[in-house]
Amino acid sequence: MTTEANKKNHKDWWHHSVVYQVYPRSFYDSNGDGIGDIHGITMKLDYLRKLGADIICPIYDSPNYDNGYDIRDYTKIMTEFGTMDDFDLLLKEMKKRQLKLVMDLVVNHTSDEHPWFIESKKSKDNPYRNFYHWQSGKDGQPPNKWRACFGGSCWTYDIITGEYYLHTFTEKQPDLNWENPLVREEVYKIMRYWLDKGVDGFRMDVINFISKAPGYPEGKPTDDPQYTDGTPYFINGPHVHEHLQEMNEKVLRHYNVVTVGECPGARLHDAELFSAPERNEVNMIFTFEHMDLDGGKWTPKLLDLRALKRFFTSWQKGLYKKGWNSLYWNNHDQPRIVSRWGNDSDQYRVLSAKMLGTCLHFLCGTPYIYQGEEIGMTNVRFPTLADYRDIETTNFHRDAIAQGLSTEELMSAIYAKSRDNARTPIQWSGQLPHGGFSTGAVNVTPWINVNPNYTDINVEQALNDPQSIFYYYQKLVELRRQMPIIVNGKYDILHEENTHIFMYKRYNDEGQELIIACNFSSESIKIDDPQLLQRLNNHKRVLINNYEHDKKSDWLDFRPYEAWALEIS
């Protein structure tokens, strides 16, 4: 067995992996209906293998009110994505290529079209009633004033039984009652079903929402008197760790798989509780703390790089030998990082995309590449709201209009932060009219429009350019696999208060040391540190540098968006 194969079959194989997140609906349309599908993923496996990463993808059966995160049947494939035979072929072809498949597990809530909920609504004494959170109202109003994550109330009234059901997202996504042991057993059956098929783990959607505070206490006041903030009572609830430990005992420990918990609102202390190996919960979590550094969801502000450095330094040091970090800039819920914290102009898009990749991929943890990140896909600026598909975006528009925001103000916020920025189809080529996304006829319209810049930014162009972002990312992936210090080394921040340069070192007890530096600005920046400069000038080798084929005489004289990584000793 090769060294690479050994790593992939080791108990902690995910320490050495780089994960590629696929959003199937927007990945590749193999049958010409305008919607990406499972066979489309299978057709592009050699592309993913070339990059060198693993895969994540949500493909359950869903009415698709929230783009696949409202599950109708946990053991079926969404019809528009294909069939179970398509899935089995995908899994088989991935195994051939030594790729791992990690699936979405969405079990905080189901679709309101799930059979459990349909039964639950029929009567108060239905056996499935307690699968969900049902409560009587108060004086003709909901049980409390909690605001849902996508806006509006967390409660919806059901006229049949005269009670309200809880949904922390949309009314089409009722929350499961995890205090009911029958619910937990049903979830474990679902997990075993997929694991026995051969999947390699789960990304657990909003898993820290599964435990609610008893009695549903009233939340804290918000800027809207109609609603309160209920997150202290439905995020990181009183039994979340017990539930995950039971899940591990009954299911996960019997398989060599990886688990990553999506945990909005989680801080470092929470991450240690969730991911410490001896606690037997999940292997790592997605935190959103760094995603909140440039303002609220719809109130963007400029990033203070020092705050980002403090975040990474805290998590790198705080979880070292205690838990494990998930490293990401993008996912299906976040805007494109090159538009967000880089510079998507023609002049600097490629440089800044490479810089951002450098900054992330030398950190300790498992890096995630979101589809299109590896070619520098950008945010989109659709001309009208009618072009957007995201329920969160349309709900924001509704609420913003009610609050008196101008069209210019709300569209500016949507351009910066809408989830649809990440959901436009992969730009496979410059081919008209949809950038090679669909095999369909010219008159087939994708479920969401392709970013118009596909003629300049696309996979075909990237693969034909040896200096492209794709090949730069490929090198980052390969360096992580070649150098144990990137996986296991210690971390220290350098020049922490510099407002433009993110510089850090990775080192180990054997004397090996790497220094990584990234200029997050379009300015030329010079750092005055003669002692460090002498060490840099005596470096052992240049690992990577986004100003290619360029010999530097002063490693602390940074050009716009410059990034490099040096091995010092």
CATH number of 489-567: 2.60.40.1180
For residues 529 and 32, what is the distance between their CA atoms, to the nearest angstrom?
A: 58
Binning pLDDT at 50, 70 and 90, where does residue 549 land?
low
- Residue 21, Cα to own-chain centre: how many angstroms? 7
Q: Which residues face 328 on adjacent strands?
A: 368
Pairing of strands 19-21, 366-370: parallel
Q: What is the mean pLDDT of residues 116-142?
A: 97
Tell me the pLDDT tens digit for each residue of 329-386.
999 889 999 999 999 999 999 999 999 999 999 999 999 999 999 999 999 998 887 8
Residues 6+ apart with CB under 8 A from 313: 491, 493, 496, 504
For residues 494 and 291, what is the distance between their CA atoms, to the nearest angstrom?
A: 22
Tell me the pLDDT tens digit for each residue of 16-70.
999 999 999 999 999 999 999 999 999 999 999 999 998 776 655 545 555 555 6
Residue 423, CB-side half-sphere exposure with 13 Å CA sphere: 24
Q: Catalogue the active-site residues.
A: 205, 262
Whether 357 contacts 319, CB under 8 Å: no
DSSP 535-555: HHHT-SEEEEESSTT---S-T
The answer on pLDDT for 399 being more than 60 is yes
Binning pLDDT at 50, 70 and 90, where does residue 297 land?
confident
Q: Where are the domains of the chain?
A: 489-567
For residues 189 and 336, what is the distance between their CA atoms, to the nearest angstrom?
A: 36
Tell me the pLDDT tens digit for each residue of 162-186.
999 999 999 999 999 999 999 999 9
Q: φ, ψ for residue 241 (rounded to 5)?
A: -75, -35
The H or E element containing residue 514 is strand 513-519
Return the pLDDT at 463.
98
Residue of 369, 347, 364 whose CA lies nearest to 561: 347
CA distances from 53 to 28, 43, 59, 103, 280 (A): 17, 16, 19, 15, 26
Q: φ, ψ for residue 479 (rounded to 5)?
A: -60, -40
Average pLDDT, the chain: 92
State which amino acid sits at residue 360. Answer: L
Return the pLDDT at 411.
79
The H or E element containing residue 402 is helix 391-402
Cα 153-157-162 angle, rounded to 5 deg: 150
Winning range, highest mean pLDDT, from 74-83, 293-302, 323-332: 323-332
Tell me the pLDDT tens digit for each residue of 485-537.
999 999 999 999 999 999 999 999 999 999 999 999 999 999 999 999 999 99
By residue count, the chain amounts to 569
Neighbour-count burial of 359, counting CB atoms closer than 10 A to its CB (0-12 exposed, 13-18 middle, 19+ buried): buried
Query: In sequence order, which ranges of 228-286 are alpha helices (DSSP H)?
Result: 231-234, 240-250, 268-275
CA distances from 13 to 258, 420, 523 (A): 8, 32, 40
State which amino acid sits at residue 40. Answer: G
The answer on pLDDT for 3 being more than 50 is no
Tell me the pLDDT tens digit for each residue of 444-470.
889 999 999 999 999 999 999 999 999
More confident residue, 527 or 401: 527
Return the pLDDT at 9.
56
Signed CA dihedral, 467, 471, 475, 477: sign only: positive
Q: Is the peptide bond between 214 and the residue preceding it cis, with omega within 30 degrees of 0?
A: no
Residue of 31, 16, 27 whose CA lies nearest to 59: 27
